[in-house]
Structure 1
Amino acid sequence: MENIYLVLIVIIFLLAISDLIVGVANDAANFVNSAIGAKAAPFYVVMTVAAAGVFIGAAFSSGMMEIARKSMFHPEMFFFRDIMVIFLAVMITDVILLDLFNAFGMPTSTTVSIVFELLGAAVGVALIKTFNNPDIPISEYINSAKSLAIISGILISVVISFTAGAIVQFLTRVVFSFRYEKRFKYLGAIWGGFAITATTYFLLVKGVDGASFMTPELKATIKANEKLFFVYSFVGWTFILQILYSLFKFNILKFTILVGTFALAMAFAGNDLVNFIGVPLAGLDAYRHYVATPGATPDTLLMGVLGEPVKTETYILLIAGLIMATTLFTSKKAMNVVKTSVDLGRQSEGDERFGSSFFARSLVRGFLAMSKSISNYVPVRVRNYIDKQFELPEPPKDAKSDGPAFDLLRGSVNLVIASILIASATSLKLPLSTTYVTFMVAMGSSLADRAWDRDSAVYRITGVISVIGGWFFTAFSAFTIAFLVALAVYFGKLWAIGALLILVFFMLSKSHRLSKSKKADEAILTVADFEEDGEIGGATILEKCRRDVSDVLKKVADYYAKTITSFEAEDRKTLKETTKEVNDLSLLSKKMRNDIYKTVRRLQEENIDSSLYYVQVLDYLRETAHCLTFVTNPAWEHLNNNHKPFSTDQLIDLNTLRLKIEDIMKDAVTLIESGDFKEINKVLSAQAEILDFIRGLRKNQLKRIKKEKTSTKVSMLYLSILHETQSMMLHLVNLIKAHRDFASYTKNGH
C-alpha cells in the first residue's frame, strides 16, 4: 500500500515541475512587462535580471508554504487518503488550467487558481465524508473564515492596486511631466533613491520572516533597525545616483527599472512559489508522517500534522527557483502573455487587440461627462498647468515602429508600486495575486498617464474587462474542475488517476499545438518594417510597396483558385483552411493600410506628395483582398451546411472564370514587380473581357432561375461570387493604375 502512495507522491512532484514551468510562463508578464514595454534594456538583460530575482526570491517563500496546508480546510479532519485525493486533484487541475490560459495569451492568477482548486477539491471530499457521517457538518472540514479572508483580500487588492497605480502615476507625471529630462538633473537622484529604497525595504525588511536561511536572531536584528535601514538606504542611494549622473550621465530610470524588475521577480517568487510547490511539499510531509506512524492505515490516520508550523528546506526552494529561472529563457508562451499587458498600457495608438463593448462605451461616456463636470470646479490656471505636464513631446523623425510602449518614468512607477504591495502582503502571509496587482497597477498608471484617450479607451477598457472576466472564470473553473476531479479520483481510484494523467498529457500537447498555430498566425499578420531607420524617401516606400502588393496579389490568385476547386470537389478540409488564410490576408491588408500614419510621419519633406499615391495603392489593395473574403466565406458556409452543390454548367463556367482570374493576376504581378507598365493595356483588355464574361454568366443564371432549374441558395451563392469577382477586378485595375502613377511620380518627381 505504501508503494502506491509513493507513486502518487512522485506523480504530484512531476506535475509540480510541469506546473512551475507553466506557471512561470503565465506570471512572467508580472515582472518583465514594465522593463520590456519601456525598452529599459535588451531582452536578454531583462530576463537575466528577472531570473536572478526569481532564484533568490525563492529562498524567501518558506513562510508562505502554510497556505497550501491549512488555509482552505482543516487538515486534522481529513485522513491521509483524503489528503492525497485533494492534492492530486489540485495539481492535475492547475496544470491544465494554467496551460490553457497561456496558450490563449491571457494573464491569469496562479494564486486564485491554487486557492480555488484547494477549496473545490476539499469541498468535494468533505461532501463525501459528510454523506458518510451526517453528524459532522461540512463547515467542520472547511476553513471558511480563512478562505473568505484570502478571497476578499485578493479582490480588494484589485481596487487598491489600480487606485495606487493611478494616483502615484498622476502625481509623478505632474512633478516630472513627459519632458522629464531637465527636471531629472535635480530630482532624478531623489526619485531613484526613493524607488530603490522602497523596493528593497519591503523586500528585505518586511519579507525577512519568510527567509528560510536566516536565523531568528538575525531576523530580530533587522526588525529592530528597520527605520535606520530605510533612512540610510535612501540617503546612500540618492548620493550614489547623483554622483553617477553628474559624472557619467548615468541613466537613473533605466537602473531603477532593472532594480524594480529584480525586486518584483523576487517578490513574485516569495509570494507565488507556494502556488506551485506548496501542495507537493505538503503531500510529502503527509506521506512521511504516514510511513513513520506504526500500524497506520490511509483511511484512519488523521492529518493534524499539516496544521503544525512548517520550515521548508532551503535547497528545495532553490531548486524550484532554478527551474523557474530557467523557464524564463526557454518558454515561448511567456512573451504571448507579456504582449497582452504591454498592449493594453501602450501610450501610442496602433492596432488594438480587443474590440469594443457596450459596457466600455457606456463607461467612457460616463467618465467624459464626469470629467467635464469636475473640470468646471478646477481653477483655469491649475488646469492649464496640469494639461501642460501631460503634453506628449513630438516623436523624433527616426522613431522606430517597435519603439517603447511607454516611457521609463511610467515603467519605474509600475515596478515600485507593484513590488511594495506584493512584498507587504508576503510579510503578512497573505497569498496576494501578483497577476492582479501588477496588471491593475499598470492599468491604473496608463489611465492616469492619459494613454487611454478617446481613440483607444473603449478598446483598452474592453481588454481590461476581458482579463478580469478571465480571472473570475479562473476561479469558477478551478473550483468546479478540482471538485469533479477529486470525486473522480476518490471513487475511480487508480483507473481514474490513469485516465486523468492521459487527459493532462493530451491537453498539454493540444495547447502546445494551439500556441504554435497562434504564433504562425501572428507571423502571417506581421508587416515587415523598413530596413533603414530615420527618414525615408519615396523610392524606399515604392520598393516596399512593390513587394507587399505583389505578395498579396499572388495570394489572392492562389486562394481564389483554391476556393473554386475545393468547393467543386466538396473538400471541406481544404476550403476551411483556405477560408482561414483568406481572412488572415484580409486582416494583413487592413494592417498595412492602418500603418500608413507611421509611414507618412517618417517621409522626407520633399517626398510628402508621394504618400497620396501610396495611400491609394493600399486602399485598392485592401478592397481587392476584402472582396475575396466575400467569395470564400459564403462558399465555406454553403459547403459546411451541406447545401446543394453547383450544377455541371455552373462549375464549368466558374472554372473558366478562375483561369481568366489567374491569368490577369499573373500579368498584374509582372507589371508591378518589373515596374514597367508599357503592357498595362493587356491587363485592361483582360479586365474588360472578364467583366463581359461575368455579365454573360449572370444573364445565364437569371435564365436558370426563370426556368426554376436551380435552388435559391445555390443561385444566391453563384451570383454573389460573380458580383464579388467583378468588384475585385475593378479594384485590381485601379490598384495597378495607382501603382503606375506612384512609380512615375517617384521616378520623375511629378
Structure 2
Amino acid sequence: MGDVYIYMLVILAGLAITDLVVGVSNDAVNFLNSAIGSKAISFKTIMIIASIGIALGALSSSGMMEVARKGIFNPSEFFFDDVMIIFMAVMITDVLLLDFFNSMGLPTSTTVSIVFELLGAAVCISLIKISNSPTETFLNLGKYIASDTAIEIVSGILLSVVVAFTIGAVVQFLSRLMLTFNYRKRPAFLAGIFGGLSLTSLYYFILVKGLKGADLGALNFIFEYTSNVYTTLAYGFVFWTIFSLIYVYVIKWDIYKLIIIMGTFGLAMAFAGNDLVNFIGVPIGAYDAYNVWQAAGSPADFTMDALAGKLPSQKWLLMVAGIIMVLTLWFSSKAQAVVKTSVDLARQDSGTERFQANALSRYLVRYSLVAAEGIKRIMPANANKYIASKFEKAPESTLVPRNADRPAFDYVRASVNLMVASVLISVATSYKLPLSTTYVTFMVAMGTSLADRAWGTESAVYRIAGVLNVIGGWFFTAFSAFTAAAIFAYIIYMGGMYAIVGLVALAIVLITRSFLMHKKSQNVQKATDELKRAESNTIQGIIEESSDIVSTVFKRGKHMYQNTLEGLMTQDLSSLKKSRKVSKKLAGEIDNLRNNIYFFIKNLDETSIGASKFYINVLGHLQDVSQSLDYISKASADHINNNHKSLKFNQIKDLKEIILQLQDIFGEVQQIFSAKEFGKLEAVIHKKREILVLVDHKIEKQVKRTKDADESPKNTTLYFGLLLETRDLLNTVIQIAEQYYTEYDVNRFDRDSESE
C-alpha cells in the first residue's frame, strides 16, 4: 500500500515542476510589465534583476507553505488517504488551468486558482465523508472547511480590484501634476522628493514582504527595528529623500531608473516568496503528510492533525524550485505573451488594439465621459486650465525611426506602478490580509494608465473591454478551479490509482498539445509575411515600402483563393474553415494599416503630400482585395457547412480554368512587386481584357445551364457570386498594377529629365 503513495509523490513532484513552469509563465507579468513597458533598462538587465529577486524570494517562502496544509481545510478531520486525494486533484487541476490561461495570453491569479482548487477538492471529499456517516448532514460541512479563509479570499479579491485601481489612478494623477510628461525639465528637487517617496515604499516592501520570511541568521535583528510601521517609514523617508537628492544633484544619475530597478527586484522577490506556495505548497504538504504517516507506522485510519502544527521547512526543495523558476523566466515564450497583454492595455500611444469593444465597455465609456464633463463644469476654469497644462505631452524632438520599438509609457508611470503595488501589498501583508499580487499589479497598471489619459476616446472602449476580459477571466478561474478540482477528486476517490494514471496521462496529452500548438503558432507567425505599415516621407519611398505590402497580400491571396475553391470543389470543410481564418487575419491586418493612416500623414514632410494620396489609394484597393477574398471564403464555407448540393462537373471544370488564370496573374504581379520591377507591369495590364472576357464567358455559360437544366438555387447563387467576386478581384488587381505603373512611369520621366 505504501508503494502507491510513493508513486503518488513522484507524480506530484512531476506536476510541481510543470506547475512551476506554467505558473511563472503566468505571473511574470507581475514584476516585468513596468520595466519592459518603460524600456528604462535593457531586457537582459531586467531578467538578471528579476532572477536575483526570484532566487532570494524562493528561499524566504517557507512560512507560506502552511497555507496549503491547513489554510483552506481542517486537516484533523481528514485521514491520510483523503489528504492525498485532495492534493493530487488540486495539482492536476492547477497545471491544466494555468496552462489554459497562458495559452490564451491572459494573466490570471495563481493564488485564487490554488485556493479554490483546495476548496473544491476538500468540499468534494468532505461531502463524501458526510454521505458515508450515519450521523452527519450537509450542515456539518463547516467542521471540515476553514470557511473564514475562503470568505476572506473572496472579499480580498473584490476589494483589491477596486482599491488598487483607484489608488493607482489617484497617485498617478498627483505625480503627473507634480512632474508632468516633460519631467526631465522639472526642478531636480522634485525628482528627489519623488525618489524619496518611491524608494521608501520599496525599501519597506522588500523588508516586510520579501526578506522577513527568510532566515538571515545574525541579520534577523534588522526586523526588530521595523516592527513599528510608522517609525520605520518616517526614518526611511528622511534617509531615502536625502539619498535621492544626492543621487540627483551630486552624482547626477537617473533616479527613475533606480526606482524601476529596485521595484522590479522587490516585486520579483515578493512573487517568489508569496506565490511559490501556489506551485509547490501542495506537493510539499503531501510530502510532509507522508513522512508523518510513515513515522506513525502507516496505520489505515490516520488523521492528519500534525499538518496543522509547525513542520520543518524543506530548504533544498525551495532552492530547486527557485532554480526552475529562474530558468522558466528566461526561456518561456508564453510568459512574454502574458506580459504583452498587460503592457498593451497600459500603453500611452494609440495603436492596434488586442480586444474588441463590447456593450459594457461602450456603456462605461459613454457615461464616464458624461461624468467627466459634469465635473469639468463644476470646477473653476483656471483649475481646468492648470490641470490640462500639466498633462500636455512633451513634443518629440525627432521622428521615431522606422519600425522602432517605442516605450509603452514613460519612467514616471513605471515608477508609480511599482511604488503603489509595493505599498498596497506591504500594507495587506502587515495586516495579514489575503491578497493576489496579480490583481494588485495589473489593476494598479490599469489605474495609472487611466489617470495618464492613455485611455482617450480613440482607445477607451477597447482598453476597458480588455480589462473586463481579464477580470472576467479571474472570476472564471475561481469557478472553474473549484468545479474541476471537485470533479477530479471524486474521480480519484472512485478510481484510485487507475484514475490518477488516467488523469495524469490526460494532463500530459493536453499540455503537450498546448505546447505544440503554441510552438506551431509561433512558427506560423514567423513564416507569415506580416504587413508592415509604410513610414517613409517621400513618394519614391512610399512606392518602395508599399510594394512590399502589395507583394505580401498577393502572395497570401493567391494561396487563399486556390485553397478556398479547391476546398469547395472537394467539399473539404476543414480546409474551407482554415481559409476563412486566413482571410479574416488578412482583412484585420489591412484594417490596421488603414487605422494608422493618421500617424502616416503626420510623419510626412511638407513636400510629400502626394505620397499620402498614393498610399491611401493603395490601401483602399488592398481592402477591396481582402473583401473579395473574404466573401469567396465565407460563401464557400457556409455552402458546404449547410450541406447544400456540391458543384457540378462543368462548374468545377470552369472554376479550375479560372483558378489557373488567376494564379498566373497573382504570381506574376507578386514577383514584379517583390523585385520592384514596375516596368514589367505593362504586360500584365494588357492581359486585363483577356481574363475578364474569360470570366464573362463562364458567367454566360452558367446562365445558359440554368435555363436549360434543373439547377440547384443555392448552387447557382454561390457559383454566380464566386464568378462576380472573382471579376471584381481581377479588376482591383489590375487597378493596383495600373496605379504603380503610372506612378513609376512619371517618376522615371522625372529621373530621366534630371539626368539630362
Q: TM-score, normalised by structure 1?
A: 0.94
1:736 Cα deviation from its structure 2 partner: 1.6
CA contact (8 A) 2:531 2:552 kept: no
Q: Which residue of 2 aligns with 1:733?
A: 734
Contact 1:271 1:422 survives alignment (8 Å): no
Structure 2 match to 1:72 = 72
1:243-263 deviations in Å (ceiling 9; x for gaps)? 343355422212211111111
Alignment match, 1:277: 280
Checking the alignment, whether the CA contact within 8 Å between 2:210 and 2:269 is kept in structure 1 is no
Q: CA 1:419 to 1:741, structure 2 compared with 1: closer, same or farther past 3 Å? A: farther
Residue 477 of structure 2 is aligned to residue 474 of structure 1: yes
Matches within 5 A, 1:34-113: 34-113=34-113
Letter of the 2:38 counterpart: A
In the TM superposition, what is the alpha-carbon distance from 1:183 to its structure 2 partner? 1.5
**How far, CA to CA, are the matches of 1:486 and 1:746 in structure 2?**
74
Q: Match of 1:477, as an amino acid?
A: S
Deviation, 1:679, is 5.4
| Residue in structure 1 matched with residue 453 of structure 2 by the alignment | 450
Q: Which residue of 2 aligns with 1:557?
A: 558
Alignment correspondent of 1:155: 158
Match of 1:486 in 2: 489
**Offset from partner CA, 1:126-174 (integer Å, 9 cap, x none):** 0000001142322211111222112211221111111111111111111
Query: In structure 2, what is the equivalent of residue 411 of structure 1?
Result: 414
TM-aligned CA distance change 1:599 to 1:656, over 3 Å? same
Q: Label 1:11 to 1:674 Cα distance change in 2 as closer, same or farther (>3 A).
A: closer
Report deviation, 1:335: 0.5
Identity fraction in percent? 43
- Greater shift, 438-447 or 414-423, is seen at 414-423
| Cα separation, 1, equivalents of 2:251 and 2:529 | 43
Change (3 A) 1:653 1:16: same
Aligned pair 1:645/2:646, yes or no? yes
Task: Supply the distance in 2 between the matched residues of 1:208 and 1:554 (Cα, whole angstroms).
Answer: 57
Q: Of 203, 206, 220, which residue of structure 2 is paired with 1:203? A: 206
Distance 1:746 1:141, change over 3 A: farther
Q: Which amino acid letter does the alignment assign opposite residue 11 of structure 2?
A: I
Provide closer, same or farther for how the CA distance between residues 482 and 362 of structure 1 changes in structure 2, counting only shifts above 3 A: same
Tell me if structure 2 keeps the 8 A contact 1:58–1:270: yes
- Amino acid aligned to 1:737: E
Task: Quote the offset at 1:563 in angstroms.
Answer: 2.3
User: Whole-Å Cα distance in 1 between the matches of residues 732 and 307 of structure 2?
Assistant: 72
CA distance in 2, matches of 1:50, 1:240: 24
3-state secondary structure, aligned to 1:376: helix
Aligned partners of 2:260 and 2:415 also within 8 Å: yes
The residue identity in structure 2 corresponding to 1:361 is: R
Instruction: Give the root-mean-square deviation of aligned CA atoms.
Output: 2.4
CA distance in 1, matches of 2:445, 2:166: 10
| Cα deviation, residue 399, structure 1 | 1.6
1:96 aligns to what SS in structure 2?
helix
Contact 2:365 2:460 in 1 (8 A): yes
User: Residues 176-200 of structure 1: CA distance to partner in whole angstroms, max 9, x if unpaired?
Assistant: 1111111252211221122112111
Q: What letter is aligned with 1:691?
A: L
Q: Which amino acid aligns with 1:156?
A: L
Alpha-carbon deviations, 1:214-246, whole Å to 9, x = none? 579626523357656544543443334333433
2:25 is equivalent to residue 22 of structure 1: no
**1:270–1:426 Cα contact (<8 Å) kept:** no
The residue type paired with residue 266 of structure 1 is M
Matches within 5 A, 1:375-386: 375-386=376-387
- Which deviates further from its counterpart, 136-145 or 699-708? 699-708
More displaced 10-residue stretch of structure 1: 736-745 or 620-629: 736-745
Aligned pairs for 1:109-508 (under 5 A) are 109-136=109-136, 137-183=140-186, 185-205=188-208, 209-214=212-217, 218=221, 221-224=224-227, 229-247=232-250, 249-294=252-297, 296-298=298-300, 300-400=301-401, 401-508=404-511
> CA distance change for structure 1 residues 745 and 178 in 2, over 3 Å: closer, same or farther?
farther
Measured against aligned partners, the alpha-carbon deviations of 1:517-576 in whole angstroms (never above 9, x if no partner) come to: 43345443744477xxx9754433322222221222122223222322332233444444
Matched AA of 1:709: D
SS state of the match for residue 357, structure 2?
Answer: coil
Per-residue deviation, 1:676: 5.2
Partner of 2:754: none
In structure 1, distance between residues paired with 2:195 and 2:466:
32
CA distance 1:55–1:397, shift in 2 (3 Å): same
TM-superposed deviation, 1:666: 3.5
Gaps of 5+ in 1: none
Deviation by residue 1:680-719 (Cα, 9 ceiling, x = unmatched)? 5543342223333333322332333334522122112111
Q: For residues 613 and 241 of structure 1, what CA distance do their matches in structure 2 show?
A: 53
The Cα of 1:37 is off from its aligned counterpart by: 0.8
Judge which range, 301-310 or 640-649, deviates more: 640-649
**Which amino acid is 1:461 matched to?**
I
Which 10-residue stretch deviates more, 606-615 or 720-729?
Answer: 606-615
Partners of 2:341 and 2:643 lie apart in 1 by: 39
Q: Is the 8 A contact 1:86 1:118 kept in 2?
A: yes
- What is the distance in 2 between the residues matched to 1:169 and 1:106? 25
Letter in 1 for 2:123: V
Structure 1 stretch displaced more, 112-121 or 611-620: 611-620
Q: Structure 1 counterpart of 2:515, which letter?
A: H
TM-score normalized with structure 2 length: 0.93
In 2, the alpha carbon distance for the partners of 1:186 and 1:112 equals 42
Aligned residue type for 1:129? K
Shift of the alpha carbon at 1:11?
1.4
Query: What is the aligned partner in structure 2 of residue 10 from structure 1?
Result: 10
Q: Distance in 1 between matches of 2:559 and 2:424?
A: 55
Decide which moves more: 213-222 or 73-82. 213-222
Q: What SS does the aligned partner of 2:265 have?
A: helix
Using the alignment, how far apart are the partners of 1:383 and 1:495 within structure 2?
Answer: 69
The 3-state SS of whatever aligns with 2:28 is: helix
Partner Cα separation in structure 2 for residue 281 and residue 189 of structure 1: 45
1:72–1:525 distance in 2 versus 1, CA, 3 Å: farther
CA–CA distance in structure 2, aligned partners of residues 745 and 410 of structure 1: 49
Give the superposition deviation at 1:739. 2.0
Contact 1:207 1:423 in 2 (8 A): no
1:508 to partner: Cα distance: 0.5
How far residue 380 of structure 1 moved from its aligned partner, in angstroms, is 0.4
> Take 2:410 and 2:748, find their aligned partners in 1: how far apart are those partners?
40
Q: How big is the shift at 1:484?
A: 0.4
Cα gap change, 1:216 to 1:407, in 2 (>3 Å): closer
Give the distance between the partners of 1:255 and 1:579, measured in 2 at CA. 49
Shift, 1:396, TM fit: 4.0
How far did residue 656 of structure 1 move? 1.6
- Which deviates the most, 618-627 or 328-337? 618-627
Contact 1:28 1:328 in 2 (8 A): yes
2:627 maps to: 626
Q: Distance in 2 between matches of 1:239 and 1:550?
A: 60
- After superposition, the Cα gap between the structure-2 partners of 1:268 and 1:166, relative to the gap in structure 1 and judged at 3 Å, is same
Distance 1:256 1:667, change over 3 A: same
Amino acid at match of 1:626: Q
Aligned length: 745
Question: Aligned to 2:393, what secondary structure does the other structure show?
Answer: coil
Residue 690 (structure 1) aligned with residue 667 (structure 2): no
Q: Secondary structure at the match of 1:333?
A: helix
Show CA shifts across 1:571-615 (max 9, x none): 444444333333333333333333434443333443342222122
**Segment of structure 1 superposing worse, 57-66 or 306-315:** 306-315
| Whole-angstrom CA distance in 2 between matches of 1:376 and 1:452 | 21
Note closer, same or farther for the CA distance 1:525–1:176 as it changes in structure 2 (3 Å cut): farther
Q: Do the aligned partners of residues 657 and 589 (structure 1) sit closer, same or farther apart at CA in structure 2, a change above 3 Å counting?
A: same
Greater Cα offset, 114-123 or 284-293 = 284-293
Higher deviation after alignment, 547-556 or 739-748:
739-748
Unpaired segments ≥5 residues, structure 2: 752-756
